[in-house]
Structure 1
Amino acid sequence: MPVLELKIPPVILVALFALAMWLLAQLVSPLLLPVVWGWVLALSLALTGVAVALLGVLAFRRADTTVDPRVPEQTSSLVIRGIYRYSRNPMYLGFLLLLAALACYLMNAAAFALLPLFVLYMNRYQITPEECHLSAKFGADYQAYTKQVRRWL
């Protein structure tokens, strides 16, 4: 469904998934998970998620390239330093960690169930189209990078 490719800003998508997770937690209360220190885990994941995403943004800013994922054709350079040595998509990884933090905070199995859907959506409608643009623009350099660094982690 190409109509969804690169159309929804990932921040909006995160907000929509967070809202869906919260609504599910309200509707499906019998699935509460008994986890002690859930709030500590939630806070740890949230702080890690923010740090990972911000490191991705800072690396893009240092390289003077666009951080708007809806226009990958405006990318001016291939960023492979800093956090990009460990993940090709640290901003999206940070968003996933934030959603995982919310799921831990809600302590509801239904909220956790949405995490794989977020990854599937991002892979299909955001990351794959971005990778096509980057491959076309940076060719062999990008292909070599994809062989060295995993998509998420």
Structure 2
Amino acid sequence: MKWLDMPPVWLAAFLSLAWVQKTVLPVGSFGPVWADLLGGLLVGGGLLLAALAVTEMRRQRTTVIPHREADRLVTTGIFSRTRNPIYLGDSMILAGMVLYWDAVLALPLIPIFVWVVERRFIAQEEVRLRRKFVAQYTRYAQQTRRWL
């Protein structure tokens, strides 16, 4: 059951809630064209961020699985801009789909998703990284923001 507690599963759950809201209770609209365009850009940017992060982690030969011990602290590539590019990408995908679907009432799901990711994954990962890569992680955390 541990595979259920993975970021893509949480993202799928939040996307499902947004889709249900727009299907069952379609309320309001973000606008005819700009929301679709911005939504598409956010989804595309989120997918790109996640792909860049996974590629960099594979290149550095460390795990992308959140509950596993990292072999290396990745600070290069997209990780030089944000400590959590995959989670940022996931949040962008959710925001983009909320806009694209005109799921106005689902907007609060975005900060809730960010909160869940921080509590379920980021906080635990940071503890493990800080414990394993003491000085290197401290320097990295001071130089690189958690999100943006």
CA RMSD of aligned residues (A): 1.7
1:45 maps onto 2:46 in alignment: no
1:101 to 71, 96, 118: 96
1:30 partner SS: coil
1:63 to 54, 60, 63: 60
TM-score (norm. length: structure 1): 0.90
What's 1:21 paired with? 18
Q: Is the 8 A contact 2:53 2:86 kept in 1?
A: yes
1:12 maps onto 2:9 in alignment: yes
Whole-angstrom distance in 2 between the partners of 1:35 and 1:52: 27
Whole-angstrom distance in 2 between the partners of 1:84 and 1:122: 17
Which stretch of structure 1 is more off in the superposition, 104-113 or 76-85? 104-113
Percent of paired sites with the same residue: 35
Shift of 1:28: 2.8
Tell me the amino acid that sits aligned with residue 145 of structure 2. R
2:138 to 101, 119, 143: 143
Whole-angstrom distance in 1 between the partners of 2:11 and 2:124: 18
Whole-angstrom distance in 2 between the partners of 1:53 and 1:33: 26
Q: Is the 8 A contact 2:30 2:99 kept in 1?
A: no
Whole-angstrom distance in 2 between the partners of 1:127 and 1:19: 23
1:122 maps onto 2:100 in alignment: no
Shift of 1:35: 4.8
Whole-angstrom distance in 2 between the partners of 1:33 and 1:134: 40
TM-score (norm. length: structure 2): 0.93
Shift of 1:104: 0.9
Which stretch of structure 1 is more off in the superposition, 77-86 or 105-114? 105-114
Structure 1 unmatched runs, 5+:
none
Structure 2 unmatched runs, 5+:
none
Whole-angstrom distance in 2 between the partners of 1:79 and 1:19: 32
Q: Is the 8 A contact 1:49 1:95 kept in 2?
A: yes
1:113 maps onto 2:108 in alignment: yes
Tell me the amino acid that sits aligned with residue 132 of structure 1. V
Q: Is the 8 A contact 1:135 1:143 kept in 2?
A: yes
Q: Is the 8 A contact 1:17 1:114 kept in 2?
A: yes
